[in-house]
Each structure stands twice: as structure tokens, then as C-alpha cells.
Amino acid sequence: MPVKNNNNPFRINLDLFLDVNLPYIEDSIELLRKDIGLRQKSQVKALKLLLCNLFLNPNREIMLSRRKQSLGGSKYNPLGIGYRGIVSSLDALCNHQLINQVIGIPGETLTTMQSTKKLNEWFAENDWNAESINVRSGQYITLRKNNMIDGRATYIDYEDTDYSIWLRAELEKYNNLLNKSHIFLEGLNSDKDKVFSHLTIQRKFIQHPASKIKNGEFIFSGRIPGPWVNLSQADRARITINGEPTIELDRQASHLNAMYQVVTGAPYPSGDPYEIIINGFKIPRHIIKKYSNFMQGGRSAKGVAQSVINAYKSDTDQSKYENYLDVRKTIKSSEIVQAILDKHPQIAPYYLNKKAYGDYIRCWESDIVFEVVIELTKREIPCLTVYDSFIVPLQYKQLVDNIKDITPYVNRRRLDKVLL
């Protein structure tokens, strides 16, 4: 079961890359440690980390886990914080009314902590300030196992490659640009304003154990999610960057065009690649788009059809589900799958090759999106990505419109298209 409270954009995850760098701050933590009854070194390390997070995010809910499991290897947890220290420090802070803690349900929700007025006053009395916090360089590349355990991802301490070293440097440039920009979400009615700061935007890859490919450590998925992806499109429209209004621009037929760009070297040549006519009947575009998407990681027409109907059942727009059921009264799912394959013979062999290959194709799209990010970062233009779209200051609309669909795929890993 997936963790539920991860999708609230006004909550943040615990940052494992924070430390203090001034002796008097260390002294204040030592005094607090004695007052709340913590003794072990592991507890002091955890207390220090929790306090840094709470100081930088006053009155915000910070999500973390109390599960009895590792917080990750050295790439994801550079200070070596353990779950025992986290749990005992949380409880000590809570027992002394320094935080409000809501303990999560294992496998369903994360625990949240939030500073109290008492803790905020303690920070002020001890002269804490932003300069006293050392923000370590975050982990810009993550690699997790394909399967989730109790709804939680398991991350892997990978070996660096020439590609990961290059990618980390590019992600650092991107993050530096975002963190020197002012990215603001204006509240609406009773909603809170939010400033997106101290960002570590990552490329998130998946490891498929069946794939044993030379130089293929980072070839599955690789998406670039930021905290704004959990906002509705209407809410994202309220984001400003450096005081300017923004616009969100989508890549045209992004999933399918990414396949064309990799296989043929250019996007779909002309017209709408999702336009399909079967027996004189034009299939609604949203249906073809959904089928094409699920065909990338499917193994059979029957399996794709089941994935499509499951997706429609959970869609908030039930009118599309009803539309789909009407179409299926006269058109078989196998006919839709075959029509897509017939319309796109150049990329047909890359469909229906199972889940791992679907994640590989998604990496093609992510790579192209990131090439656009690299180009905009070179020009000092901050952009926020939402899967296959770009949120940019309104003044750059024309520029981004001109490059987002034609920026080429670059095979930076020097891998063959046919892998599995």
C-alpha cells in the first residue's frame, strides 16, 4: 500500500543533508540534549539533524519514518543517522512540548513533526540563524529497486560511472540556479503561501535486476520530480519565479514523440500521432494516448486493455471513462492496439516488451526533457519540470515553445536502442 501523506505539497520530507557548523550552536544542542534526557551519540546526531530541519522550516509539517529500517547508505544518508536515534529524539522533543508529532501508520502514512512556539522561542534565545546551518550537497541521483516494500522504496548505493558523474554536475548547476531564484506559490483563500527553497531536485532511476547491460546503470525511468508536481494544474498556475508570472508548456505527444526522436532522430513527421480511425470511426484522442502509454510497458493487448480500464476507473474525470465504455461497445481493445502499431511501424517493435522496457522508454523521454533543462540552465532561465512540461517565467514562452519539441535526444550513455 503506498504512503498516503507524501502528496501534500505543503509538507516536506526530512532532509538528511543538514548539519551545524558553529561551536555556539553545538553548545546549545548539548544543553538541550541534557535537558530532554538524551545520552547516546546516535541520539545526539539525530537530534542535531531534526533541529536543523525544524529551524529551516518553522511551523511546517516535516515527514519522516519511524520504521525500524536503515535510512540509507552513505550516498543518501551522509551523516549515518540511524532510526533508533531518530525515534528516541522525536519522542524526547515531543515529551518536552518542543514539537507536535503525529505518528504514522506503518505502510500507509509517514510520521510528521512540527515545531512548537516553545521550540521557536528556544531557537531565538540561542541565536540560531540560517548561516549556522551547513546544507550539504544533496544526492542528485537516486537508484531504487524495482519492487516496493510495504509501500516504501529501497534505495541502492550505486557505483559511479562517467555518465553519473556528468549528470550530477549538470543537476548541481540546475539546482544552484533554482536555489538562487525566488520560487513562490501564492496562497488562495485559506491556503498558505509557500516558498520553494533549499531544493534538491533529483533524477530518480529504477534498477531492474533482469537487465545486465554494460554501462546501463541509469537507464530506467530517470524522472525529475519537484515538490510542485503534487499541485493541481490550477494551483501551479499561481507559481511565480523571481516575481514574474509563469506559464506551463507541454511537449507535444511527449511519450510517443520521444520514441520517434530516439528511433528515427526526429519527432513524428506531420499531423497528430494520436489520430486513429477504425472502421470509419475516429477514436477519441484520450483513449489512444492512454493505450499508447500502457503499450510501452505492456506485454500483451489483453494486459494493456486491463491497465487502461483500471486507469479510467480511478480517473477523477469519469466522463472519459463513460466515453471509453461507449467506444468499447463497437471497437475491440485488440483493434485499438493493432491500429496504433499499424500507424507507427517505425516504433512498433518497441511496444509490448514488458515493464522494464517501458521504464527504458520513459528514460528516453526524461533524457529529452533534461536536455531542455540543460539548455535553459545555460541561459540562466529557471524552469520547473512536471514530467513532460515546463513551468517558466512568462517572458520566455516563445523561446521554450521553440525548443521543447525539437530538442534532440542525446545518447550520452552510448547505448544501443535494443537492449532487452
Q: Give the model's pLDDT for residue 420.
A: 41
All cell numbers assigned to 390 = 515546463
d(CA 351, CA 340) in angstroms, rounded, equals 10
Q: Tell me the whole-structure pTM to 2 decimals.
A: 0.78
- pLDDT number for residue 329: 93
Burial status of residue 251 (CB atoms within 10 A of its CB: 0-12, 13-18, 19 or more): buried
Q: Are strands 277-278 and 281-282 parallel, antiparallel or unpaired?
A: antiparallel
pLDDT value of position 150:
57
CB 367: neighbour CB atoms within 10 A?
Answer: 21
Q: Is 1 in contact with 50 (CB distance < 8 Å)?
A: no
pLDDT of residue 191: 66
pLDDT of res. 12: 82
Residue 149 carries which DSSP code?
B
> Strand 11-13 and strand 61-64: pairing?
parallel
- From first CA to last CA, the distance across the chain in angstroms is 29
Whole-angstrom distance, CA of residue 66 vs CA of residue 111: 7
Predicted confidence at residue 151, as pLDDT, reads: 56
As a three-state string, the secondary structure of 161-197 is: CHHHHHHHHHHHHHHHHHHCCCEEECCCCCCCCEEEC
d(CA 246, CA 130): 29
What is the rounded distance in angstroms from the CA atom of residue 114 to the CA atom of residue 59?
6
Place of cell 511496444: 351
Owner of C-alpha cell 540560531: 128
- CA 349 centroid distance within chain: 29
CB-CB contact of 141 with 203 (8 Å): yes
Sequence length of the chain is 420
H or E stretch at 277? strand 277-278
d(CA 47, CA 39): 11
d(CA 274, CA 145): 33
Please check whether residue 327 is in contact with residue 284, taking contact to mean a CB–CB distance below 8 angstroms. yes
pLDDT in tens, 148-204: 665 566 788 888 888 999 999 999 999 999 999 999 998 766 567 888 887 889 999
Residue of 222, 237, 78, 75 lying closest to 160 (CA atoms): 75
If you ran DSSP here, which 8-state letter would residue 253 be given? T
Rounded distance between C-alpha atoms, residue 91 and residue 15, angstroms: 19
How many other CB atoms sit within 10 Å of the CB of residue 2? 11
Predicted pLDDT of residue 1: 37
Q: Which ranges of the chain have pLDDT less than 50? A: 1-3, 419-420
- Cβ-based neighbours of 417, under 8 Å, separated by 6 or more: 262, 263, 350
**Number of other residues whose CB lies within 10 A of the CB of residue 352:** 20
**Integer Cα distance of 381 and 233 in angstroms:** 21
